[in-house]
Chains A and B, each alone.
Chain A
């Protein structure tokens, strides 16, 4: 199975400051169809995960533009330009390029 390794495990951030989460894959994710199926999810306490980003850098409908994704091959990054209170929770990367689809272990964002 493809292993996704996220860092950091915990991310304390001051409101209004930027934040960044890294995701490294054990296998290259680009596919023959030209897509790289790397997604980012956000889970607030007590809620189901909601997807933020797909195809490395495409934002899902309704996702604020302070969220952005980048990367290629095996290294990917989620960035939040200015953290807001509603951004607390756990962030997961997830790959859909190779079955079984797999998730990273999560990064917990908290407000300092």
Chain B
């Protein structure tokens, strides 16, 4: 059974940094396309970043240069390093396996609040 469990969310001041982690079981993060998706207050969904099975990474424009998606093969985790955080980054952050093909799984999310 595939299970994705996010952690690392919390309250951070504007300009601060946070590192999110997604522990995966039932799959290898190294062999799958993995993503971070966020849900902004008021329910809007935004696909933040994706790393393909081959290692290519893509980011949505609002986070380019500030967020980094990566995989830790030894721990079988997907990470999201977030820097220079802004109030508009406040959201629930979800880890997802897959995107467009069969076999998509999402975690339950970890909340991030950027506020002074």
Chain A residues in the interface with B (C-beta under 8 A): 35, 37, 39, 43, 47-51, 54-55, 58, 60-61, 90, 92, 94, 96-97, 99-103, 105-106
Contacts and interface: CB of A to CB of B under 8 A. Distances in A.
Taking chain B's interface residues, is the majority helix, strand, or loop, or is none over half, making it mixed?
loop
Contacts of A61: 102-103
Interface residues of B, number: 21
Taking chain A's interface residues, is the majority helix, strand, or loop, or is none over half, making it mixed?
loop
A49 B106 contact: yes
A100 B61 contact: yes
A50 B45 CA distance: 13
8 contacts: A47-B108, A48-B108, A58-B102, A92-B45, A100-B46, A101-B99, A102-B47, A103-B46
Contact of B45 (A35, A47, A97, A103): A103
Contacts of B67: none
Contacts of B45: 49, 92, 94, 103, 106
Chain A CB within 10 A, most for which of B39, B58, B61, B99: B99
A61 B101 CA distance: 12
